[in-house]
Amino acid sequence: MRKLKLIIRREFLAKVKNKSFIMMTFLSPLLMVSIGFLVFFLSKKNDEKIKKVAYVDESKLFTKTDFKDAKSYHFEDFTLLGIKEAKRKVEDGDYDGVVYIPENKGLEELAKSITFYSKESPNNSLIERLENTIELKFKNLKLTSFGIDLNQIEASKIVTEIKMYNFSGEKSSKLINWLKIGVGGIAGYLLMMFVIIYGSSVMRSVIEEKTTRIIEVIVSSVKPFQLMLGKIIGNATAGLLQFFIWGILLLIISMIASSVFGVSMSEVQTAKINPAQLDAISKEASADKVQLLIQEIFRLPLVTLFILFIFYFLGGYFLYSALFAAVGAAVDSETDTQQFMLPIMLPLILGVYVGFATVISDPHGTIPTIFSMIPFTSPIVMLMRVPFGVPWYEIAISMALLLFTFVFMVWMAAKIYRVGILMYGKKPGYKDLYKWLKYKG
């Protein structure tokens, strides 16, 4: 145990005293916040540009009330100019394009003959807006031709808002689901990045010591298993320290930037939400529901979420770091690691894709439940499911499988490590790794 502590301390100090580690610890939050505010600033500037669109209506079906100006759209009637003159004027002027509606030969035929001309490929949102405008007009004309009163249809619309309660009678909110998705998604993504960054760091550390032959001196007094485990834990503690500092600095920088530039973090988050989500959120953006959301957040089992986050965060890192260390011990240079990296990275990538594809739509479905049990994907998928509430027995099974697999993989990786760290001058294959696993002694 004393030797293991010394190895952990050595790896930790070697990591935190590195100049690049210190620089990135303090520069990364600044860069992340700067990029975030830059994206927000650019998106705001992009939204401020008004798209000017002309239309030529030879069908005489449309009026100015049909092509209404909006915040980002301005429509001009060029019907009197004709399509040829309108196209020339639009091409020479500051227009995004011109919509040509030919003569009315029946709504079905007319709907298939409408054309949009532009100098460059048009924005999808612009085309969708035009299509919706024209489809609505044609629909109303069709209903009128059937003798249906449009005013009665409009009067028949009823807005329905379903109130949400849990079985204990406490009121809930749709916003909490977006909060849970955000928490779970960020946790899963952070784990993947943590594994890639610090797992690779363990691998490079092993390769460096192996190529400089320092490893031969170290293993004369320390067991390979202790050396490998010490490297993994030492790098993990350095990584957690860096993440902790990043969290504090991100909070401070965000608060300063918000006050200086007059941009609130809620605005930045709203800018990243798609229109469908924004519409749902805007309906609930009242003082009552903001207070309800705050109450819902504090009703979450925050302590449990934090404990499970730490467990799966460290469990996933330890599991994959053992594999990274074994790869580092098996090769002589970083360029030789490529053939072994794909099998390690695939479960990580699969976990992220499965998490975002299935947990968001149905966190308690069969697929996310199965992948939250598989040890190689459970750290990511289970972290995404936890905010939605997972039965205790599923968490217990997932944790037990992760622990068992971690111990088993460390044992296997140590056997590869034990032989690989003393092998030079040969690129090992999967057959060699299998032989190393069978070595005794």
Pairwise CA distance, residues 340 & 329, whole Å: 12
Pairwise CA distance, residues 393 & 391, whole Å: 6
- Compute φ and ψ for 389, nearest 5 degrees: 90, 115
pLDDT at 308 over 70: yes
**pLDDT on residue 56:** 92
Alpha helices in 302-438 (DSSP H): 302-330, 338-354, 366-371, 378-385, 392-420, 430-438
Mean pLDDT of 429-435: 76
CB atoms within 10 A of CB 350: 16
Strands ordered across the beta sheet of 115-117:
73-77, 51-57, 97-101, 115-117
**pLDDT on residue 397:** 93
- Compute φ and ψ for 155, nearest 5 degrees: -70, -20
Q: β-strand 73-77 against 51-57: which pairing, if any?
A: parallel
* Range name among 18-27, 79-88, 214-223, 358-367 with the lowest pLDDT average: 214-223
Share the mean pLDDT of the chain. 78
pLDDT at 218 over 80: no
CB 51 within 8 A of CB 81: no
- CA 329-317-424 angle, to 5 degrees, is 5
The DSSP code for 118 is: -
**pLDDT on residue 438:** 75
pLDDT at 289 over 50: yes
Contacts 24+ apart (CB under 8 A), 340-346: 344/320, 345/196
**pLDDT on residue 254:** 64
Task: Kindly list the domain boundaries of the chain, sorted by start residue.
Answer: 2-35+172-438, 50-155
Could you give the C-alpha distances from 383 to 37, 70, 178, 197, 388, in angstroms and in order?
28, 42, 15, 19, 10
Question: In the block, which residue shows the tokens 């298939």?
Answer: 112
pLDDT bin (cut points 50, 70, 90) of residue 158 is confident
**Tens-digit pLDDT profile for residues 62-116:** 888 888 887 788 899 999 999 999 999 988 888 889 999 998 888 888 888 899 9
**Tens-digit pLDDT profile for residues 230-261:** 888 888 788 778 878 887 887 787 677 556 65
What are the E-state strand segments in 46-204? 51-57, 73-77, 97-101, 115-117
CB 360 within 8 A of CB 347: no
- CA 78-139-100 angle, to 5 degrees, is 20
**Tens-digit pLDDT profile for residues 380-394:** 888 888 878 788 899
**pLDDT on residue 72:** 80
CATH topology of domain 50-155: D-Maltodextrin-Binding Protein; domain 2 (3.40.190)
**pLDDT on residue 257:** 59
Q: Report percent pLDDT > 70 for the chain.
A: 81
Pairwise CA distance, residues 81 & 87, whole Å: 9
Residues in Cβ contact with 280 at an 8 Å cutoff, skipping those fewer than 6 apart: 174
CB atoms within 10 A of CB 70: 10
CB 417 within 8 A of CB 224: yes
